[in-house]
Amino acid sequence: MTRLGITLAALTFVAFVSCKNDKKNADKKEDMKEESMKEDMDAKKDDNMASNIKKVSFSLSSKSNSNATGKVVFSEKDGLVSFNANLKGLNPGTHAIHIHEKADCSAADGTSAGGHWNPTYVDHGKWGSSAYHKGDIGNFEADADGNGFVSMQTDEWCIGCDDPKKDVVGKSIIVHEGADDFTSQPSGAAGARVSCGGIIQ
């Protein structure tokens, strides 16, 4: 083979290898681009899921010369509201817990929170019975150390929605010294208000 032929063959080989490498690099860049787009879409999906969850949390302060305090969390996802309250400093035994109509805990005895939240104007009763306030959460037990926990889920509440018959924002949580009897009107004769916290976003 002549020197010219060898040179042409070498140039052809180099061009072939270069094109092949360019294709590999292009394919690699395309794969990386697709992977990056997928990660961005997954991140946006996670952000959208997180943005669909509403949450409000707050502390309960002592009232009526008690030592009762607590932490409350409301969260809403897909139209279902979860309520969790961790309570301490209570006298052992049964206590009532309700949503009251105002987010005002300024009074020493908690009376500034108003009465039970009752946007449907029905009689007080046990949650799930024929008649009950939207704020009638119910009773719970405080253990020997004065600790209690309350948890429930419902679609009868919402967080910051446009329905005044469901929206818990602007109300308060009140813990009572005694048990709710579910019959006495308008509040179940649950005794003094020993802890209060406003539901404020």
Q: What is the pLDDT of residues 37-61, one digit of tens each?
A: 666 555 555 554 556 899 999 999 9
Is residue 10 over pLDDT 50?
Answer: no
Distance in angstroms (rounded) separating the CA atoms of residues 173 and 156 = 16
Asked whether residue 141 carries a pLDDT value surpassing 90, the answer given is yes
pLDDT score of 42: 58
Domain ranges of the chain: 1-51, 54-198
Arithmetic mean of pLDDT, 147-164: 97
For range 91-103, the mean pLDDT:
98
| The CATH number, out of the four listed (1.10.357.10, 3.40.50.1820, 2.60.40.200, 3.65.10.10), of the domain defined by the range 54-198 | 2.60.40.200
Distance from chain centroid for Cα 143: 26
pLDDT greater than 90 at residue 107: yes
Across residues 24-36, what is the average pLDDT? 60
